[in-house]
Amino acid sequence: MSAILVINSGSSSLKYSLIDIEQENLLASGLIERIGQDASPVAHTVRPESDGTAMPTMLDATYRDERPIADHAAAFEIMRAQFAAHGPSLEEHRPVAVGHRVVHGGARFYAPTLIDADVERQIDELAVLAPLHNPANLAGIRAARAVFDQVPHVAVFDTAFHQTLPPAAYTYAIDAALAAEHRVRRYGFHGTSHQFVSEAAAAFLGRDLGSLRQLVFHLGNGASVTAIDGGRSVETSMGLTPLEGLVMGTRSGDIDPAALVHLSRRAGLSIDDLDSLLNTRSGLAGLAGRSDMRDILAGVEAGDDAAMLAFDVYVHRLRAYAGAYIAQLGGVDVISFTAGVGENSAPVRAAAMATLGFAGVEMDAARNEARERGIRRISTNTSPVTVLVVPTDEELQIARQTAELL
């Protein structure tokens, strides 16, 4: 069996998945949180094994613990202890490689990349473009390479899928020399998810990926939409950082830059104050005091004015981007929703698509509201544009790209 260990390292967390890449089966996954604090919750979930021909009869088993974990190196030792105590055995399912999620690859990294000391150095250099993400990703890489020192490690970049953006899409209309000196351009994010979903949609429909014009809405606490033409990203809503674009849980998305100048001059907000405002006190949380879409919808049901406005602003931005990107593509064949909100919120999907009849979207209300798992169609059978819900699997995509590279 060929197992690949997938690592997603955050500033105070370690998320991991062990995947049998031959069968594309998830063997186990885990999450270690609050690294560096007094008490770090640990959750390790073991999947029942299957030979790929039948559904396993047992349910997933999750083992929970809590203990102080000083740093990412210690977290990796805890992860190994979880595998040893609860399975599956890393001796029987020895990883042949480790795949790492890295948020920002700049313009340097356009494909999965074998990690060495020079790649580590470049990821560190790119931290200036993603100060909340790349240092944490790098900490996970270094800890993993120390523990799993006999196997190759591969970096899979969130930005890589968007390296096919044309200059007209990634260029900001500011002083060109200044932009070039400081690498200011649109990079885009959630690329691993957008690629997985667009490929899964084509496979589900039995269509050639190269023939499809697609929109993928990745709607979670972070949110982005990408226009994909023939399997290539040609437009995406996130920019230099993950802040641009759609309204998100705590991030503002698009805003007039002069508003920040105004707040600095009139309210005395510093650069750090503005950064905190836009990233942690805006979006749904800024509008309604709640960042979770489920809470927003509960507020809408209760007639809460702030929740209703937050929902309307959120949907307004979704429709605006849908219309713009359909225009850029010259029409659309498939629209997919994914991630926490996209996969689970029927009201968001219905409202976002409600005005797109002119583009060929015909929603099936019963399908949209059905509580089903897996990839599914939520448009009518006769709709010129197919609308899907496609559960994303970024870990599997990272494992696939790791295996393909090796």
Query: Is the pLDDT at 241 greater than 70, yes or no?
Result: yes
Instruction: Read off the pTM.
Output: 0.92
Residues 6+ apart with CB under 8 A from 123: 102, 105, 134, 137, 138, 141, 155
* Cα 313 to Cα 311: distance, rounded to the nearest angstrom: 6
Percentage of the chain exceeding pLDDT 90: 87
Residue 289's identity, in one-letter code, is: G
Handedness of CA 9, 182, 321, 236 (dihedral sign): negative
Query: Is the pLDDT at 37 greater than 70, yes or no?
Result: yes
* Residue 272, token pair as written in the block: 């750090």
* Cα 386 to Cα 356: distance, rounded to the nearest angstrom: 12
Q: What pLDDT score was predicted for residue 47? A: 86
Q: Stretch 156-160: mean pLDDT, rounded?
A: 96
Q: What is the pLDDT of residues 262-313, one digit of tens each?
A: 999 999 999 999 999 999 999 999 999 999 999 999 999 999 999 999 999 9
112 upstream amide cis, omega within 30 of 0: no
- Reported as half-sphere exposure (CB side, CA atoms, 13 A), residue 87 has a value of 9
* Residue 395, token pair as written in the block: 């870990």
DSSP annotation of 336:
E
Q: What is the pLDDT of residues 113-154, one digit of tens each?
A: 999 999 999 999 999 888 878 999 999 999 999 989 999 999
* Residue 179, token pair as written in the block: 């932009």
Q: What is the pLDDT of residues 165-221, one digit of tens each?
A: 999 999 999 999 999 999 999 999 999 999 999 999 999 999 999 999 999 999 999
* Of the candidate ranges 58-72, 276-290, 350-364, the one whose mean pLDDT is the lowest: 58-72
Q: What pLDDT score was predicted for residue 1? A: 52
Q: Are strands 334-338 and 386-389 parallel, antiparallel or unpaired?
A: parallel
Q: Which residues are catalytically annotated? A: 158
